[in-house]
A and B are shown apart, each in its own frame.
Chain A
Amino acid sequence: MKRAYLLTTTAIVVAYLTILLIQGISEEVAMLREVAAQRTAVTRLSYCAEAISDDLPRYLRREVEREVLRSAASGDLPDPSKIDVEEWRTASSDYLTAQKVLAELDIGGASLSRSNAPEGAVVCKASLGYSLQDQVYETELQGEGAVTFVVPVRIYLMSDVASNFRWSIADKIKRAFSVNGNTSADTVRGIISETIGEYKRSCANMGLEFGVDVGMEFSSDNETTTVFVSFKDLRVTDVSPSAEILVDGKPTRVTFRMKSSNRTLVFRHN
């Protein structure tokens, strides 16, 4: 009787301990699963962060290229306030939400400046701050990074060439009249065509294509000579191999077009 009691009690204790053991193991397994799931969520967040960090430069490059094309067509330098990041912010948030990731994205305004390599091209700098939260496991990932890239279209150099050309024509005509107050119309025409030739040659050496239509009117009386110079269709195109950009999927060259302008020079005879 006593032995039977002992055996029953032992069996109950063993069964109880076994249940506790199984429960403990399954709790441990559940905990390990939870940890593994959270780790997966963190990996997923870091992957999402990497994916948006990789795409932002692609998006900004497209926007900067568009702005370079737009500003060059109107003879201006690129304006960073025209770089719109809202479309990308919305699309990225939507794309992350679809992957059950709540995103707060802070894109620091893009700044544009002159590059040294290639000389006169555009450097774009921006920043990306992000806070990503996994909507299932509520794990969070915060980070920030800088975006810097060069759009190799030498718009600053093209602008320099266009401005210098107008200044150069006026300066050479002034010098001719300072040496000889009776400089003829043919001499002035010669100066203009010679300067155009010089600019075409030096631009070709720099991988730029230069073109311009210069009109000239010359009038003279006993006291003064008036030279009226009109600059029409002054254009500089970057033809270097790296300066081709994609616009709506088509390779495009950027041409800097200066607005038409006139210059009137009056010289008093000695």
Chain B
Amino acid sequence: MSLAADVLRTAESLGYIDELARSEGDGPSSEKAMTKIASLVPTNHPFALSWLTKEGSIIEVTKSGDQANLAYIAIIITTSTQITCLALGVGG
């Protein structure tokens, strides 16, 4: 949990979360912001990064490695149209 939390905390401090919030509705930009956040996960750690609406519909997903045993943390992100959730799971 702490690794995922650290990644999202760093992403927030670097402005990547704001960038993601502003990119809503613009596929290439949100993909770019998701890639930036995912790049903060240490190499060789499997991860899943999902951006979801409040109702649980997927907006963007990016993942890598074995998805079987990931520890998740989620944060709330308000965009210009809705309140969304960004969940990051990182494996050991």
Chain A interface (Cβ within 8 Å of chain B)? 40, 43-44, 47, 50-52, 54-55, 58-59, 62, 87-88, 91-92, 94-95, 98-99, 246-249
Contact = CB atoms under 8 A, between A and B. Distances in A.
9 contacts: A43-B5, A44-B73, A54-B17, A55-B75, A55-B76, A58-B21, A62-B80, A91-B54, A249-B25
Interface string B53-79: 010000000000000000001111111
A147 to B, nearest CB: 13
A154 B24 CA distance: 26
Nearest to B73: A47
B89 to A, nearest CB: 13
Contacts of B9: 47, 50
Given A43-B5, A247-B80, A249-B80, A54 B24 contact: no
A98 B24 contact: no
Interface string B11-48: 01000011001101110000000000000000000000
Contacts of B78: 55, 58-59, 62, 88
Interface of B: 1-2, 5, 8-9, 12, 17-18, 21-22, 24-26, 54, 73-81, 83, 85
A246 B74 contact: no
A51 B22 contact: no
Contact of B76 (A51, A62, A249): A51
A48 B32 CA distance: 25
A47 B76 CA distance: 12
Contacts of A47: 5, 9, 73
Contacts of B26: 249
